[in-house]
Chains A and B, each alone.
Chain A
Amino acid sequence: MNKIFVINEAGTQAQAHTIVASLKHLQGALLPILHAIQEQFGYVPPETVRIIADELNLSRAEVHGVISYYHHFRDHPLGQHVIQVCMAESCQAMGADALKKHIEERVGCGLGQTNANGTVSLEPVYCLGLCAQSPAIQINGDLHAKLTPEKFDAQLADCLGELQ
């Protein structure tokens, strides 16, 4: 299950300071820092941008530019569970389009959205490297290959059951 963060802004900033201080010595430190911050908070909170910029001697625009450029980084939290659905060619050859429709219907939102009660976010992904066992998805970081609608329903029930 995805992390849920109830933390005040000062707490966020203190943690961000610690992370930045521990990694800023690296050559090309920005990506490692953003990964560590997203790992900690589930997203890159906007209030951490100034800290990163100050510590790395960059402008806030440069840091924001990097966050917004990469698909992996996000500036807002996602739902409690994150499901990534592979939509690349190999999965398409094995029915990813139909599977995507099924998943969207079950979850109640489209790819790139979070459902109304905030339990699940759906994201497209372009290749999980499981192309010989398509179609593939990833649920909260766990890989699932040779997926069928039935197997998906079982996985989703597991996730949602965990919330109750």
Chain B
Amino acid sequence: MTTTIFVPRDSAALAVGANAVVKAIQAQASLQGADIKIVRNGSRGMLWMEPLVEVETSSGRVGYAQVSADQIPSLFAAGFLTGGKHVTSVGLVEELDYLKKQERLTFARCGLTDPVSISDYQSHFGYAGATRALEMTPESIVAEVTESGLRGRGGAAFPTGIKWKTVLGAVAEQKYIVCNADEGDSGTFADRMIMEGDPHLLIEGMLIAGLAVGATRGFIYVRSEYPHACTILQEAIREANLAGFLGSSIRGTDRSFDLEVRMAAGSYVCGEETALLESLEGRRGIVRAKPPLPAIEGLFGKPTVINNVLSLAAVPTILAQGAAFYKSYGMGRSRGTLPFQLAGNLQRGGLVEKAFGVTLRELLFDFGGGTASGKKMKAVQVGGPLGAYIPEALWDTPMDYESFTAIGGVLGHGGLVAFDETVDMSAMAKYAMEFCALESCGKCTPCRIGSTRGAEVIAKIQNGDASQMHEHLLRDLCDTMLNGSLCAMGSMTPIPVLSALNHYPNDFKPLPLKKPTPSLGETHESA
């Protein structure tokens, strides 16, 4: 009998030697004449366990964590093909608390299946949402998405249904669906995991969006730092075309939808929707002034739905199981689930999908297990480089859009980066300004110049140079950036800066012998 072994092809597994593990398993199996089949699945999201090798047994999938290539002979000797015990054993994967305590809607399939296989996808309820959407009117698809309460998962949290309704109402001979997969925030990897672990989910979400607004072309704009995601998406798109879920006359209907992957080129600000559209059109990624909204005049001047990967990936569930089902998760005006990404200095980093309302503390400690260094946790940055640093006093805040706005933070894309007590918050504030200076598109003055001046002022505070006056200057500068910038890059950079200043004032007090921190901008001409 053939034994099925799963070894993820997710970047997180590749980065810790998954390919070497596969080679070693194949070599050992052929040496012993064992009949095996290796499936390169997505990651389960328990990223500290990677490479997590799973073996299909009669009682379920048995896991072996942090497996290295040189352990393979001993795994075979321990009888791992029938689920035998080994030092790397973690037992039945589905029974692990980390997974069992989650509410996985978007990530329900991730790690279970062969990402590219359309038959695997369909046997796990894939394309059920699209099949239903094909029988619905555009208006009723939009109504279903609106009713679900889904809000943009890229960070802005704008109601997805309202955006779609605007595009549906716009009259044009060509409309577009654009997926923003320019996941540049440090501490986030959920988009990457979907694209690498369950790409058909994103394809299905984009197809449904196309059916809803009458768009026949779609683009997925993927960051150049994610080459594996590009490859897997392209393989999946090929499969979807062959199966009639993309292309012309979709599943025998008169509807058509073509999808293309486009690679970005390493500009953070291209995650801003109008800069992304400029980039897709082949220009410098400079932010456009709004209005006109992309929904009216978007890509190539045509009405365009532009949504984040996670927004589009939530749509198939909403269509397959109904708006009421999706809406039954969450709290207040934040409905459904958010895939949180636990990163930085944590023992058990990974992907945790929970309904809105879970607290930061639960995520950091119940799931994350506290710091990896074993030192006291000092700060958590929530929502990427433009998110606030949250001190311990606020870790019981429920994770929903409104509660985070109330404490001066943002949920953003759901990334959490934990820092232990060794972090110097004035250095992190300075880094936020330097990052903005590096990545600013340069169109508006507050962002372009304010970020450089901001880094300089923080350096002066660090060096104890008339710090009270400079703190006043910094706050004034942040106010200008916040209110005067064209897009979120400039207007949100003050969030990490001010949260560091307000919550960790001691880190901004000069120490007599403190060395100046090295500058991010210190790059030199190549030799």
Which positions in A face B, CB cutoff 8 Å? Answer: 27-32, 34-35, 56, 62, 65-66, 69-73, 76, 78, 87-94, 97, 109-116, 118, 121, 124-134, 136, 141-146
Contact = CB atoms under 8 A, between A and B. Distances in A.
Given A72-B266, A115-B527, A121-B526, 9 more contacts: A31-B264, A32-B263, A70-B266, A72-B264, A73-B265, A112-B523, A132-B47, A133-B12, A145-B12
B192 A129 contact: yes
A28 B301 CA distance: 12
A134 B343 contact: yes
25 contacts: A27-B300, A30-B282, A34-B265, A35-B224, A66-B283, A70-B284, A70-B285, A71-B265, A71-B267, A89-B187, A90-B186, A90-B343, A90-B417, A92-B428, A93-B419, A113-B524, A113-B525, A126-B184, A126-B438, A127-B225, A129-B225, A131-B189, A132-B12, A132-B346, A136-B15
B268 interface: yes
B104 interface: no
Contacts, number: 168
Interface string B507-527: 000000000001010111111
Contacts of A35: 224, 263, 265
A134 to B, nearest CB: 7
A125 B439 CA distance: 12
A133 B227 contact: no
The secondary structure that dominates the B interface is: loop
Contact of B186 (A66, A71, A88, A116): A88
Contacts of B263: 31-32, 35
Interface string B453-489: 0000000000000000000000000000000000000
Contacts of B50: 133
Contacts of A56: 282
B183 interface: yes
Contact of A128 (B225, B280, B428, B435): B225
Interface residues of B, number: 66
Given A89-B344, A130-B11, A28 B183 contact: no
Nearest to A84: B225
A124 B431 contact: no
Given A110-B522, A129-B226, A134 B344 contact: yes
A31 B265 contact: yes
Contact of A133 (B48, B185, B282): B48
Nearest to A88: B186
A70 B192 CA distance: 21
Contacts of A133: 12, 15-16, 47-48, 50, 349
A129 B15 CA distance: 11
B520 A28 contact: no
Nearest to A27: B300
B350 interface: yes
B324 interface: no
A106 B14 CA distance: 25
B341 A131 contact: yes
A87 B186 CA distance: 9
A132 B350 contact: yes
Given A90-B186, A129-B225, A131-B341, A70 B267 contact: yes
Given A28-B281, A146-B16, A114 B267 contact: no
Contact of B415 (A31, A92, A131): A131
A132 B342 contact: yes
- Residue of A32, A78, A128, A131 with most partner-chain B CB within 10 A: A131
B12 A130 contact: yes
Centre residue among A71, A73, A132 by max chain B CB count within 10 A:
A132
B372 interface: yes
B527 A114 contact: yes
B284 to A, nearest CB: 4
B303 interface: no
A89 B15 contact: no
A126 B522 contact: no
Given A113-B524, A136-B15, A72 B48 contact: no
A113 B526 contact: yes
A28 B282 contact: yes
B527 A109 contact: yes
Contacts of A116: 527
Interface in B21-63: 47-48, 50
Contacts of B415: 131
B503 interface: no
Nearest to B387: A89
Nearest to B225: A128
A65 B281 contact: no
Interface in B162-204: 183-189, 192
B353 interface: no
B77 interface: no
Interface string B255-296: 000000011111110000000000111111100000000000
Contact of A69 (B16, B186, B262, B284): B284
Contacts of B281: 27-28
A129 B183 contact: yes
B381 interface: yes
Nearest to B221: A31
A96 B187 CA distance: 14
Interface in B399-443: 415, 417-420, 423, 428, 431, 435, 438-439
A26 B428 CA distance: 42
